[in-house]
């Protein structure tokens, strides 16, 4: 059985998809844009966009009693891999110890003109020693 996850602490879906779906102990979080859920605004650079996208991902997980230490896999989509080091520096601050598996992919464009989008798979029974970004 699957459960649709939705929280007002992350941006609403901008299409026919869910913020996340829980199935069999796994939570599949849709790609999170760096959109502020209150203002709808987006930071201008890759570092701040990475932080905003990860905070949105974190809010969705927290709505299910989970945190970033439950994440087992992420995919980062970027429109410019020359900004990889900037994204990676911020990403590393969120996943300090025992980071999840990850793929980073350059794409031609992202919705709303974003530079970064991040999706994740988390598991309720699989918690690393890492803690949420403080």
Q: What is the pLDDT of residues 87-134, one digit of tens each?
A: 999 999 999 988 999 999 999 999 999 999 999 999 988 776 544 454
On whether residue 131 sits in a domain, the answer given is no
* Boundaries of domain holding 78: 2-123
Order of all β-strands in the sheet with 20-23? 2-5, 20-23, 26-32, 116-123, 71-78, 101-106
Rounded Cα gap, residues 99 and 93, in angstroms: 10
Percent of all residues in the chain with a pLDDT value above 90, rounded to a whole number: 86
pLDDT score recorded for residue 130? 43
111 φ/ψ angles, rounded to the nearest 5 degrees: -55, 150
On whether residue 130 sits in a domain, the answer given is no
Structurally, the chain folds into a number of domains equal to: 1
On whether residue 94 sits in a domain, the answer given is yes
pLDDT score recorded for residue 132? 46
On whether residue 128 sits in a domain, the answer given is no
On whether residue 96 sits in a domain, the answer given is yes
pLDDT score recorded for residue 129? 53
Q: What is the CATH number of the domain that holds 75?
A: 3.30.1330.40
């Amino acid at each position: 059985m699957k459960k649709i996850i939705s929280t007002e602490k992350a941006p609403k879906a901008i299409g026919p998809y869910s913020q996340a779906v829980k199935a069999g102990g796994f939570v599949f979080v849709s790609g999170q844009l760096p959109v502020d859920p209150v203002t709808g605004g987006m930071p201008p650079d890759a570092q701040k966009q990475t932080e905003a996208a990860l905070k949105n991902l974190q809010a969705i997980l927290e709505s299910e009693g989970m945190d970033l230490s439950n994440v087992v896999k992420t995919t980062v989509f970027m429109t410019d891999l020359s900004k990889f080091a900037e994204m990676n520096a911020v990403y590393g601050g969120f996943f300090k110890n025992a980071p999840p598996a990850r793929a980073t992919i350059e794409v031609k464009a992202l919705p709303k003109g974003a530079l970064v989008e991040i999706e994740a798979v988390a598991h309720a029974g699989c918690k690393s020693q890492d803690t949420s970004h403080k």
